[in-house]
Chain A
Amino acid sequence: MTEIVRIENLKKSFGELAVLTGIDMTVDAGETVVLLGSSGSGKSTLLRCVNFMEIPTEGQVFIHGERVGDQRNGKMHYRERDLSALRTRIGMVFQHFNLFPHMTVLQNVMEGQVTVLKRARGEAEDKARSQLDRVGLADKADEYPARLSGGQKQRVAIARALAMDPDVMLFDEVTSALDPELVGEVLKTMRQLAEDGMTMIVVTHELGFAYHVANRVLFLNEGKIFEQGEPHQVLKAPSTTRMREFLEGHSLFKLPD
């Protein structure tokens, strides 16, 4: 298996608050890894450390086996230019979509390709249209984001990230801001991506998605990976009390099977 992301002893503190207290994980090509955990467990922070939206306080991140940053006097140093280049290879989708409101859907999906990757406009447009087609929104290319539903916005955001040809996609609670009836279309798009072989790290509360799509589930608790394994094992037969409590909290109001 080709390793895409490796994280070694990653720690992150915000001032006095230690959010991540030592994370080791590896994500291989084509894998879908779901991060679970209650709020404040550090799962979003971990995700944001992968593409350095947050700079880790300690530890190292390797993308394709290549260490990010330079080590000097035992401390990691990161150059903004290197991080920008790295981020072009790591797609990220946010809870609140963050589409560019002054651009059409097509322009949103072309923007990074043209401004950052310096692709020719024609090439970028073809790429954008094919990615919009992939998320089922080819007919919305000329609309402005304000005229789309939440689910459509999120699929445009996915297309925008895909258009950069990323090695790995990061999903940060991408269905949490959606109306319940719009969650499905976004999850379906993500499932299709996973089936196409995209490498994905997904922070979500959707246990069904974790169960059906993930290759591996990591449960974060108090800044550490508390439990991990294949979804049917971790979600059906958790080995820790904390994980059991977390799952019970989630399924408290589920309809009986």
Chain B
Amino acid sequence: MQHSWDFATIIENWPVLWVGLKGTVFIFLVTVIFGLGGGLVVGMGRYSRGRLLRWPATVFVEVFRNTPVLVQIIWFYYAFPILTGIEVDPFLAAVLGISLNTMAFSAEIYRAGIQSIDPGQWEAGKAIGMSYGQTLRRIILPVAIKRILPALTNRGIEVFKMSTLASVVAYVETLNQAKLIADLNFNPIEAYTAVAVIFFVVLYPVVQATYVLERMMSRSD
């Protein structure tokens, strides 16, 4: 079948997509901060020798790593309010689903990073009178994070793309807006192609920048 491409309506509706892209960037920023930040906390719990911290952290990681994000978003949007009586809007449902999943994945990255550090580093910090927290912050994390930076930036890129899942509960982001355009103008091929192009155009330079960053970081070793 021959399709004659026509992007006129897409360009006409650019402001609609622009609103969506802003929504995408916004939910990305919120979920990446909660996800990677919270992941550090959960990762520390996973690393902890105390069972009181380790077990809940382990359960958390396993639950959210082994359930689909899409299902989590839908569950928080439809099931959670009925079970608890707490209203959940599309944004919150999507943020919960994506953040919790990202926390679970990044927790494992942090844990692996911290475990890869020579125990002698902990000893050296301790021996000059540093507390656990001081050693972690000043000695362990700077080296560990440098080591896991490629894995973390990968996660960040995943989170950016995962934001499209928020469209399932009609949160206003790029894919959701494209669906709107497609429904009104009967041009799904162009609309969804535009979404792919937008994501590529945004992510490609970012990914290239992370390569440069990684090269710079590894040079100081």
Contacts and interface: CB of A to CB of B under 8 A. Distances in A.
Interface of A: 51, 53, 80-81, 84-88, 90-92, 94, 96-102, 111-112, 115-117, 144, 146, 160-161, 164
Most buried by B among A96, A111, A144: A111
B118 interface: yes
Contacts of B134: 115-116
Nearest to B130: A116
Contacts of B126: 53, 84, 87
A92 B127 contact: yes
Contacts of A112: 128-130
Interface in B135-159: 138-139, 142-143, 146
B124 A98 contact: yes
B210 interface: no
Most buried by B among A96, A102, A144: A102
A100 B142 CA distance: 10
Contacts of B130: 84, 112, 115-116
B123 A164 contact: no
Contacts of B185: none
A53 B124 CA distance: 10
B120 A96 contact: yes
Most buried by A among B126, B129, B134, B143: B129
Interface residues of B, number: 20
Contacts of A99: 124
A99 B121 CA distance: 7
Given A101-B143, A116-B134, A111 B129 contact: no
B138 A144 contact: no
B220 interface: yes
Contacts of B48: none
B12 interface: no
B120 A98 contact: yes
B120 A94 contact: yes
Given A51-B127, A116-B130, A144-B220, A100 B139 contact: yes
Contacts of B116: none
A91 B128 CA distance: 7
Contact of A116 (B121, B123, B128, B146): B128
A115 B131 CA distance: 10
Given A85-B129, A102-B143, A144-B220, A53 B138 contact: no
Given A102-B143, A116-B134, A160 B120 contact: no
A84 B131 contact: yes
Interface string B198-220: 00000000000000000000001
8 contacts: A53-B126, A81-B131, A84-B126, A84-B129, A91-B127, A100-B139, A116-B130, A146-B221
A145 to B, nearest CB: 11
Contacts of A53: 123, 126-127
B127 A111 contact: no
B127 A87 contact: yes
A146 B143 CA distance: 14
Nearest to A93: B127
B129 A98 contact: no
B129 A164 contact: yes
A51 B128 CA distance: 10
